Every structure is written in C-alpha cells, then in structure tokens.
Amino acid sequence: MTFQDRYTLAYKTYPYEKSPDQDLPAPVRHPVVIVGGGPIGMALALDLGLKGVGVLVLDDHEGIGMGSRAVCYAKRTLEIADRLGCAGPMVEKGVVWSLGKVFHRNEKIYEFNLLPEEGHKMPAFINLQQPYLEMNILDRVHAARAEGAPIQVRGKNRVDAVADKGDHVEITVMTPDGQYTVQADYLVACDGANSGVRAMLGMSFEGEVFKDSFLIADVRMKADFPTERWFWFDPPSGSGASQLLHKQPDDVWRIDFQIGWGANRTEELKEANVRRRVAQMIGEDVEFDLVWSSIYTFQCKRMAEFHRGRVIFAGDAAHQVSPFGARGANSGLQDTDNLAWKLKLILDGTAPAEPLLKSYDAERIHGADENIRNSTRATDFITPKSEISALFRDAVLTLAAKHDFARPLVNSGRLSVPCTYDGSPLNGPDTLADGPERTRPGSPCPDVPLEGGYLLDRLGDARGAQFQILAIDTEAPARFTAHGLDCDVMRLSAADSEMLRARYLGAAPGAVYLIRPDQHVAARWAGWDESAVAAALGRAIGKEG
Amino acid sequence: MGTLNTSRNLAAPDDVYDLLIHAHEGKTKAESDAFNARLILILMNHVGDRDAIAEALALAEV
Ligand SMILES: Cc1cc2nc3c(=O)[nH]c(=O)nc-3n(C[C@H](O)[C@H](O)[C@H](O)COP(=O)(O)OP(=O)(O)OC[C@H]3O[C@@H](n4cnc5c(N)ncnc54)[C@H](O)[C@@H]3O)c2cc1C
C-alpha cells in the first residue's frame, strides 16, 4: 500500500515510525484518539495531554503542510494558546497592524485606525502564517511530552475505518507497514473540511457553496512597504469583486484576489498572470518575489450534530466558513477549548458523558452559526447577490467616502470575536443586578491587568479541569468543594482597578463569579451563597438542570 | 412593538413630499435608484433604532 501525499510539507515533524501497537495481537485502547494533526487536532492533543489524558494523534502526513492558509488569529485564540503555554512565540513573531485603507474602484474612500481596548495581555489579533502557528503548537507538544504529558503523534497513519462499538470506538489505520487496529474511549475527528470520518459515519454537512474562487498570493517585497490592510471593492483591474492585502511576518504580504467562479485555474496560476495581478494592485514599480500562490473556493457548512455516541467532531471537519473575517482556525481552537475539559471530566468519571457532550454540541453549534452568519454577511456585502443588494452596497460605499456614519456599514469581513454561550444548558443564574453585559453567564472572561500580571494568567486550567470562584469585594470562603470538584477562590478588589470594576462589577458593589476551566463564566451572583454555587457547579458539569 | 411613530408627524406634508419629488428631477432611473438607496441609509442612521427600522420594513410590505 503506497501513500500518496495530498499536499507538500513545510516541515517534516513527525516522520513515520512503526509503533509497537502494530505488532500486538490485540488492539491497544487509548483514552482519546484524534484523527488529524492540523492546528485543531494538535491543540486538542496538547490541551488533553497537559490535563493528563492519554491521547494519540493519527495523521496521514508526516508534518505541517506547506503554504500559508490562515493568516489572522484573534485575541481569544491567543488567550487559549496562552493558557496552553504557546502564545509567547506567536505574539513575538506575529504582525500587528492598525491602519486600514478601504478602496472602491479607483479611489481610496477612507482609512481607519484600529484602537484596541486597553488592559488585555493579548493583542486584538495578529497576522501569522499558518505553518508558524502549527509549528508553535507542535513545539509545545514536544515540550509537554518531555515533561511527561501522555501525547503520541503518529505520521503516515491514515484512518480508513471507524466503528462505534458502544463502549469504545474501533479504528482501522493504514500505515506503510500495513493495517492495524486501535481502540479509543473517545474519538475526535479533526480531519479537516473533507472529513473522511464524517463520510464514514454518513453524517450530514450542509450549507451554502459560494460560486466564487480566490487566488491567493504571498509575496515578499524587496523594499519597504507599509504595514497596513488594504481592501478593494470592485478593483480597477475589473477582474473580480474584491482584493485584500495584508502583512505577515518575514516581509511577506498576503494578497487575495476574488476572481469569480468561472476562472481558469491553470491560466490564473501561471506565474506571469499572478505577477500581472499583483503589479496592478501594488504598483508596477514595486519589486517582489512570489513566495506561494494557490486558488481556492469556499463554502459555509456545518454538521447538524457535532458528536454521535463516542465520535466527536472539531474544527473544519465540523464546520467550514468563508475566509472573510478569518474564522476557521479561530473557531476551531474555541472547539478544542470547549471540549478538552469536558472530556477530562467524563474520562475521570466526575461528570456524566452525554449531557456534557450535548453541551459541546449546543455551545459550539451556536459558535459555528455565529461565524457562518458573520462570514455570510460579509460575503453578501463584498459580492452582492442581486441588483438591489449591489445598489445598497454601492450606496454605502459612496456615503462612506464622505461621511463617517456610513463607515460601520462597510463590511469587508469582521474580526472574529469570542462566542458568548447565551442559552447554554450549562449556564447558571445571573443575579448580579446591573452587572456588565460582557461578563454575563456564557461569556469568555475579559482580561484585566492585575498587580504583577493579568487576570487571565490566573483563570482557567491547562493542567486539569478546575473550576474557579472569583470573589470581588465580597466575602467568600478560601476553598470550595462540591460534586467531587475542588475549586479555588480568588479574592480581588476593584478599589484600585477601574477596569476590573467596569468589566466585572458595573454598578454592583461586589460580585461572585463561577468560572469554567475554559475561562467562560458559568454563573454570577451579588454575594456568596453556598448552595447556589454548588447547584451552579453541578449544572456546569452537566449534572442537573 | 410600537417604537415606530405611525401617527401623523409631518407639519407640512405637501412641502416635504415636494422636496422628495424635486430631488429626483432630471435624474435617470439608475441615478434615482442610487439616490433612494443613499437616502434610505441616511434616514436609517437618523432613526438609529433597530426595532423601529424592523417595524418600518414590515410596514412597507403593505
Ligand atoms: C486561503 C485560506 C485562508 C484562511 N485564513 C484564515 C484566517 O485568517 N484565520 C483563520 O482562523 N482561519 C483561516 N482559514 C481556515 C484555516 O486554515 C482552517 O480553519 C484550519 O486549517 C482548520 O484546521 P483543522 O485542523 O480543522 O483542519 P486541517 O488543517 O485541514 O487539518 C486536517 C488534518 O487531518 C489530516 N487528515 C485528513 N484525513 C485524514 C485521515 N483519514 N487520517 C489521518 N489524517 C487525516 C490532514 O492531513 C490534516 O493534517 C483559512 C483557510 C484558507 C484556505
């Protein structure tokens, strides 16, 4: 059986090695098997491994794919990476831009300066080539493994069949040395948009296919070029609905050309043609090297359910969005953030499986729908679907050139903001009268600078599935135990932190927050109430309600 | 419901109507359509209230 690589590797990081599992007479059982070692599979493996959950990653390639796909990672993604201990090198390498320019046909209609909110450890977003992101996660996997985290990664291990046997999953794996079988308590399919596991189980993946294609080119400028984001509606070249240029590290700029559904791939990808488009955009006299180019189409689809029995889906396998607003990897990482602590509690026997997995479906489907809605709206603005829609779009752009009030209507993709799990079955009460909207139950905790660091440094759990209690200017015990979970209590005062007050108290004099291991708010109250906190904790791990 | 003012609200209805019709004089159909689109966006911003706009949209269905 020969292996055909479907893509070229940027880094061969996990070359095939025969595993002892392959020669054993009976299949080896692993707590969690992950299919796919893309950014999502690896981040999940890291999160689980740090929690002490034995995890095996199977990938049909031997490393990180060539070519940069994702470019833009939002703050929440960096916060998740920081909880896992790998945000540092990303932020260091990543590019932050703040000046954006919007063009319509021949003219620049306006520019804007992003002024990110203050008081966060992580920037609002960074631009970074996807192979670097994956490399950083993988480096952290290696470091964690050296410290004893039970993570295994096997390259050229292709999953060919999956069967849910009720009390475990049986997985048929093909390798250069032939086939073998492994078992898993839970299988997580992170095998990308064309998920084979999804097809094997005959599960649906529905939505909209956009009849459009994009030519992307990464170019390295030979001289200085501004670190700005340029977005063109109806570029003057007349060959496409939009163009986008933004900066990545290493003096590389990413350019996306929307070139229409009927575009001839082979013609468009010829170097001379790519160069012609790039020159038209950045100016004939700017010298550049073409680093990489490719053509892709996209769709906005999601599965009807993100898990069935013991098989769970995360990342592009579960949902796919258009690239406007850079949401694919960002939302996939939120899947892993949501899932890792739940699997840990289930495997430890601390929490019931089905309610917690159902909550993963509910919360992440909510997130996927939000992302699909946002990227569909951006797509509709950039590529209007009807005459009247085009009329309004042009009216917005005409007004935006002259009037500030129209600029918020211009939609060239909205930055991915973290999902608030409104209506989640895990959410407990919100009895903090006049508490801030942004920290209602379901919200990811916003960061706040504290003495000697940041709040998020102290919230959430990478090494286990600990819940925490945050008591701000109110009484609370030093520790709290219920439902087999030991929660530590962090006491803070807003007396000398306006940001803490604005983000967590609002008009209230004090507050108690119950915070999940993924840094989301489970419930909040005006003061300490032991039985209420115990009930909310039970609910947050799927035990009641 | 009830955010949208649907009671008589124009002190000089003939004047205002006249302004609207005059604004379109000398415009081609395409120019008028684009003008109307801009006008709707400007008024929408003035209203500034999602619910009122949603009610207005429903009302416009006739
Ligand atoms: C042009 C472009 C620009 C983008 N820009 C952004 C952006 O700016 N921000 C953002 O957040 N996202 C962006 N995305 C989306 C982002 O790239 C994806 O969401 C992300 O790669 C998904 O990661 P994943 O791990 O779910 O899947 P993948 O990266 O597709 O990884 C799947 C892995 O599974 C392996 N695999 C598949 N089948 C099997 C099998 N049977 N057995 C074993 N292994 C298997 C594959 O080899 C692969 O390694 C962009 C995408 C494109 C195409």
Ligand 1 centroid to residue A235 C-alpha, Å: 29
Q: Quick one: tokens of A450?
A: 């504290």
Tell me which range, A224-238, A275-289, A468-482, is most confidently predicted by mean pLDDT. Answer: A468-482
pLDDT, chain A, mean: 93
Q: Quick one: tokens of A121?
A: 């450890």
Ligand 1 centroid to residue B33 C-alpha, Å: 43
**Three-state secondary structure call for residue A171:** strand
Q: Say if B22 falls within a structural domain.
A: no
Chain B segment 3-62 residues within 8 A of A by beta carbon are 33-34, 37-38, 40-42, 45
Q: Quick one: tokens of A65?
A: 């794919």
Residue A1 pLDDT greater than 60, yes or no: no
Q: Say if B41 falls within a structural domain.
A: yes
For chain B, give percent helix, strand, coil, nearest 5: 65, 0, 35
Smallest Cα distance from B37 to chain A, Å: 6
Whether residue A62 has its Cβ less than 6 Å from ligand 1: no
Whether residue A35 has its Cβ less than 6 Å from ligand 1: yes
Q: Which of A14, A215, A316 to mutate to test the pocket of ligand 1 (most atoms within 8 A of CB)?
A: A316
pLDDT, chain B, mean: 96
* pLDDT tens digits, one per residue of A138-186: 999 999 999 999 999 999 999 999 999 999 999 999 999 999 999 999 9
In this predicted structure, what is the pLDDT of residue A169? 98
Instruction: Give the count of domains, chain B.
Output: 1
**Three-state secondary structure call for residue A98:** coil
Q: Say if B37 falls within a structural domain.
A: yes
Higher per-residue confidence, B62 vs A138: A138
pLDDT-derived band of residue A2, with 50, 70 and 90 as boundaries?
A: low
The Cα A488–Cα A517 span in angstroms is 12
Ligand 1 centroid to residue A198 C-alpha, Å: 15
Phi, psi dihedrals of residue A54, rounded to the nearest 5°: -65, 125
* Strand pairing class (A63-65; A9-12): antiparallel
DSSP for residue A27: P
Which residue range(s) make up the domain with B37? Answer: 27-62
Residue boundaries of the structural domains of chain A = 3-93+127-206+300-371, 437-540
A526-531: list long-range contacts, CB under 8 Å, 24+ apart: A526/A431, A526/A432, A526/A433, A526/A474, A527/A474, A527/A475, A528/A471, A528/A474, A528/A475, A528/A476, A528/A477, A530/A477, A530/A480
Q: What percent of chain A has pLDDT over 90?
A: 80
Cβ of A163: how many Cβ atoms within 10 Å?
16
Half-sphere exposure of A94 (CA within 13 A, CB side): 25
Q: How far is CA B60 from the centre of its chain?
A: 10
Phi, psi dihedrals of residue A175, rounded to the nearest 5°: -135, 170
DSSP for residue A115: -
In this predicted structure, what is the pLDDT of residue A239? 61
Size of interface A-B (CB pairs under 8 A): 23
List strands edge to edge, sheet with A288-296: A107-113, A99-104, A228-233, A242-248, A252-258, A214-221, A288-296
Tell me which range, A96-105, A255-264, A265-274, A337-346, is most confidently predicted by mean pLDDT. Answer: A337-346
Which overall architecture, per CATH, does domain A437-540 show? Answer: 3-Layer(aba) Sandwich (3.40)
Of the candidates A147, A117, A50, the one whose C-alpha atom is nearest the C-alpha of residue A460 is A50
**Three-state secondary structure call for residue A106:** coil
Residue A176 and residue A191 in contact, taking contact as beta carbons nearer than 8 Å: no
H or E element in which residue A76 lies: helix A75-84
- Whether residues A395 and B45 touch (CB distance < 8 A) is answered with no
Fold of A3-93+127-206+300-371: FAD/NAD(P)-binding domain (3.50.50)
In this predicted structure, what is the pLDDT of residue B21? 98
Q: Say if B55 falls within a structural domain.
A: yes
Name the closest residue on chain A to residue B46, using Cα atoms.
Answer: A405
In this predicted structure, what is the pLDDT of residue A166? 95
Residue B1 pLDDT greater than 60, yes or no: no
Arithmetic mean of pLDDT, B33-45: 98
pLDDT-derived band of residue A545, with 50, 70 and 90 as boundaries?
A: low
Residue A48 pLDDT greater than 90, yes or no: yes
* pLDDT tens digits, one per residue of A342-365: 999 999 999 999 999 999 999 999
Give CA angle at A260 (A417, A239), nearest 5°: 105
* pLDDT tens digits, one per residue of A426-485: 999 999 999 999 999 999 999 999 998 999 999 998 888 999 999 999 999 999 999 999
ipTM of the complex: 0.96
Tell me which range, A103-107, A124-128, A518-522, is most confidently predicted by mean pLDDT. Answer: A518-522
Give CA angle at A392 (A255, A236), nearest 5°: 35
Radius of gyration of the CA atoms of chain B, in A = 13
Chain A segment 225-254 residues within 8 A of B by beta carbon are none
Residue A324 pLDDT greater than 80, yes or no: no
Asked whether the domain spanning A437-540 has the same topology as the one spanning A3-93+127-206+300-371, the reply is no
